[in-house]
Amino acid sequence: MDQSKEQRILNSVSYNAVKGDPESVINCIDKYCSQYEWAMNVGDEKGTILDKVVEEADPSVALELGTYCGYSAIRIARLLKPNTRLLTIEFNPEFASIAKEIIEIAGLSEKVTILEGHSEDIIPQLKKKYEVETLDFVFLDHWKERYAPDTILLEECGLLRKGSILLADNIIYPGAPEFIKYIRSNKRFECTSYPSHLEYMKVEDAMEKAVKDPGAAAMLF
């Protein structure tokens, strides 16, 4: 049977990347998806925004919704300090398996845990089953219509604290209008838009950062 695009991306990484070098895995995926087959990785332009927000958050526990091939998991995990971790939720078993191998090639398997399932099923398990107290950083990049309900679910499960930072991909293209409406009208969040471009394309896109109760966090220090 023909290989999937995601399997071809893994083949390219396995053949071309330097084992244990996250930067070389990132560059290999970006090169492959720019030159051969477009794929929905966050990409290097929006990836640089992701890097800056992760460095600002300096998370002990980070969550990603939508692992896909593991590209953004590697971008996040490569910036994490020792004894800190990234949990990433993926419902598609083929994506999860490919991401696991690509994250292994990057040498980041110790820092990244792929949780297989739907976000709405896994999020309520994070505290008890995955020993999460609160989340310092959340990257939303799964189904766009799940951004708002899953943000509400994270709140309901008591997983967000004062100063928790959310970052959402694809605010313009494909777009996440319900999320934008919800988060920008919610007084508990301070929102910032970061204009950019769709991965590997000249199409406009943007990322949205939302910090929970920033003032309160600031007052603590």
Ligand X SMILES: Cn1ncc2cc([C@H](O)c3cccc(CNC(=O)c4cc(-c5ccc(F)cc5)cc(O)c4O)c3)ccc21
| By CB under 6 A, residue 91 contacts ligand X | yes
Shortest separation between residue 90's beta carbon and Mg ion, angstroms: 13
* CB 65, CB 150: distance < 8 Å: yes
205 is catalytic: no
**Does 30 qualify as catalytic in the annotation?**
no
Report the Cα 141 to chain-centroid distance in Å: 6
Q: Does 139 bind ligand X (CB under 6 A)?
A: no
Return the number of the residue (112 or 206) whose C-beta is nearest Mg ion: 206
Residue 170 is a binding residue for ligand X (CB under 6 A)? yes
| Residue 81 tokens, joined | 């300090």
Is 16 in contact with 174 (CB distance < 8 Å)?
Answer: no
Contact (Cβ atoms closer than 8 angstroms) between residue 67 and residue 18: no
Answer yes or no: 141 catalytic: yes
51 an active-site residue? no
> What's the 3-state SS for 59-127?
CCEEEEECCCCCHHHHHHHCCCCCCCEEEEEECCHHHHHHHHHHHHHCCCCCCEEEEECCHHHHHHHCC
DSSP string, 190-209: EEEEEEEE-TTSSSEEEEEE
Q: Which stretch binds ligand X (CB under 6 A): 7-15, 17-25, 28-36, 88-96?
A: 88-96
The answer to the question of residue 33 lying near ligand X (CB under 6 A) is no
Per rule CB under 6 A, is residue 34 in the interface with ligand X?
A: no
- 141 touches Mg ion by CB under 5 A: yes
Name residues whose C-beta falls within 8 Å of residue 124's C-beta, 6 or more positions apart in sequence.
153, 157
Q: Which of 32, 59, 103, 119 binds ligand X (CB under 6 A)?
A: 119
Interface of this chain with ligand X, residues 54 to 83, rule: CB under 6 A: 65-68
Can you name the residues that pair with 85 across neighbouring β-strands?
61
Q: Which span sits near Mg ion by CB under 5 A: 101-109, 115-123, 170-178, 189-197?
A: 170-178
User: For residues 183-202, which are near ligand X according to CB under 6 A?
Assistant: 198-199
User: CA-CA distance, 50 to 151, in Å (whole number)?
Assistant: 18
Binding test (CB under 6 A) with ligand X, winner from 32, 71, 95, 179: 95
Catalytic residue among 144, 205, 209, 212: 144
Residues in contact with Mg ion by the rule CB under 5 A: 141, 169-170
Residues in contact with ligand X by the rule CB under 6 A: 40, 65-68, 89-92, 95, 118-119, 141-143, 146, 169-170, 173-174, 198-199
Q: Please identify every residue annotated as catalytic.
A: 141, 144, 169-170, 199
